[in-house]
């Protein structure tokens, strides 16, 4: 198994990326990690971490795509020597590389995935699919699409549903993941035109479609895959993230607000840490850009070594389970007729 990782993506690059990679190769047999980025700096990181093995390779890349530009496709073309493009090019050209990971610009990962790798056979549009925490311990819920496609047609959402179902099934070893449509109400006839049309089509697909759900039930744990257009999915994801940060912020302030609270905190520290862990969506791994010809993962921008390790394990699972083959199979098995 060989994974390539953008060594210069995210807030904690390159050291935490290298650290996570070293942990991965030390822990997992038969794994090689290729890191892209400035050769000398990456070698220094390995030295710092006392890594002397031969399961980490470095692929030199002189520049970095750092910002979420309005036109990431242009950047991908203009910066062939950037850590992310070098990784994507290698993923495309080399048969020995199984998956790619970047904690860098989401726009660049999405644009690069389409431009360099292209779509799986039969998939109308790839979709970005992060995992969110649920009320149930160690059970994530997949939300697809979260921003790759601002304007969608019903057929795109059908493909998101099938891809999400196959992917979730492999990740959690669930035979028939419960797929739901993100909507403004649970009744069959609810929603905007896109969602109403999608609802009818989803009922005909070879997946376990359980109907509409409201956004307030995203994290109930009663569903496995949530389907949305990229605009709505992005708003939902970021509303959840923003609210979690908002509450954690207020909780910190509440603790600091009095001596009595500070004392109370000492008694509650263990419980608080458990809560914090639960709220930490990084533990569920990165977001796969599902539907590209080879597995591409977007790790969180503030990924540390631990979260990089989690995404590497996720990528290995996807590659080993032949998720992409299964996607082509299910998508190819149906004819979707749009009105």
Q: Which residues bind its own copies (CB under 8 A)?
A: 68-70, 135, 147, 150-151, 182, 184-185, 187-193, 195, 214-219, 228-232, 234-247, 249-251, 254-255, 257-258, 260-261, 263-268, 270-272, 274-275, 278-279
**Which of residues 166 and 181 has its CB atom nearest to its own copies in the complex?**
181
Contact criterion met (CB below 8 Å) for 167 and 142: yes
Dist CA 39 CA 44 (whole Å): 9
The neighbouring-strand residues paired with 33 are 3, 56
**Which of residues 7 and 127 has its CB atom nearest to its own copies in the complex?**
127
**Which of residues 175 and 193 has its CB atom nearest to its own copies in the complex?**
193
**Which of residues 49 and 194 has its CB atom nearest to its own copies in the complex?**
194
Dist CA 32 CA 135 (whole Å): 35
**CB 187 → its own copies: shortest distance, Å?**
5
Nearest 10 degrees: CA dihedral of 30, 36, 38, 44?
A: -20
**CB 195 → its own copies: shortest distance, Å?**
7
Tokens coding 207: 């997946």
Tokens coding 191: 């929603």
**CB 38 → its own copies: shortest distance, Å?**
28
**Which of residues 62 and 249 has its CB atom nearest to its own copies in the complex?**
249
**CB 13 → its own copies: shortest distance, Å?**
21
**Which of residues 270 and 335 has its CB atom nearest to its own copies in the complex?**
270
Query: Residue 152 has what DSSP assignment?
Result: -
SS3 218: coil
Closest CA to 129 of 71, 90, 170, 83: 170
**Which of residues 125 and 293 has its CB atom nearest to its own copies in the complex?**
125
Dist CA 339 CA 336 (whole Å): 10
SS3 31: coil
Q: How far is CA 80 from CA 4, 64, 69, 90, 310, in A?
A: 16, 10, 16, 11, 28
Closest CA to 135 of 279, 268, 273, 245: 279
**CB 199 → its own copies: shortest distance, Å?**
13
**CB 154 → its own copies: shortest distance, Å?**
14
**CB 114 → its own copies: shortest distance, Å?**
17
**CB 232 → its own copies: shortest distance, Å?**
5
Dist CA 56 CA 242 (whole Å): 36
**Which of residues 10 and 37 has its CB atom nearest to its own copies in the complex?**
10
């Amino acid at each position: 198994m060989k994974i390539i990782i953008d060594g210069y993506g995210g807030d904690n690059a390159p050291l935490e990326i290298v650290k996570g990679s070293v942990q991965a190769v030390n822990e997992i047999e038969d794994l090689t990690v290729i890191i892209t980025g400035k050769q000398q700096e990456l070698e220094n990181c390995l030295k710092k971490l006392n890594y002397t093995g031969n399961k980490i390779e470095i692929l030199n890349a002189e520049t970095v795509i750092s910002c979420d530009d309005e036109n990431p496709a242009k950047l991908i073309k203009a910066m062939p020597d950037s850590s992310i493009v070098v990784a994507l090019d290698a993923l495309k050209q080399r048969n020995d590389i199984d998956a790619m990971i970047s904690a860098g610009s989401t726009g660049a990962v999405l644009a690069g995935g389409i431009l360099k790798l292209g779509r799986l056979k039969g998939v109308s549009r790839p979709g970005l699919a992060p995992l969110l925490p649920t009320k149930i311990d160690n059970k994530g819920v997949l939300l697809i699409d979260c921003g790759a496609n601002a304007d969608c047609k019903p057929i795109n959402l059908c493909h998101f549903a099938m891809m999400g179902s196959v992917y979730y099934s492999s990740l959690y070893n669930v035979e028939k993941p419960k797929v739901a449509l993100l909507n403004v109400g649970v009744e069959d006839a609810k929603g905007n035109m896109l969602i109403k049309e999608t609802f009818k089509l989803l009922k005909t697909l070879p997946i376990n479609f359980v109907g509409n759900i409201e956004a307030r039930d995203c994290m109930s744990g009663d569903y496995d895959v949530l389907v949305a257009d990229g605009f709505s999915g992005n708003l939902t994801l970021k509303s959840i993230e923003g609210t979690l940060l908002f509450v954690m912020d207020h909780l910190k302030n509440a603790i600091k607000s009095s001596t009595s609270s500070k004392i109370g905190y000492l008694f509650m520290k263990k419980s608080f840490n458990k809560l914090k862990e639960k709220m930490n969506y990084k533990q569920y791994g990165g977001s796969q850009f599902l539907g590209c010809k080879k597995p591409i993962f977007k790790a969180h921008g503030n990924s540390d070594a631990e979260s990089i390790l989690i995404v590497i394990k996720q990528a290995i699972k996807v590659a080993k389970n032949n998720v992409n083959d299964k996607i082509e199979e299910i998508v190819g098995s149906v004819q979707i007729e749009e009105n």
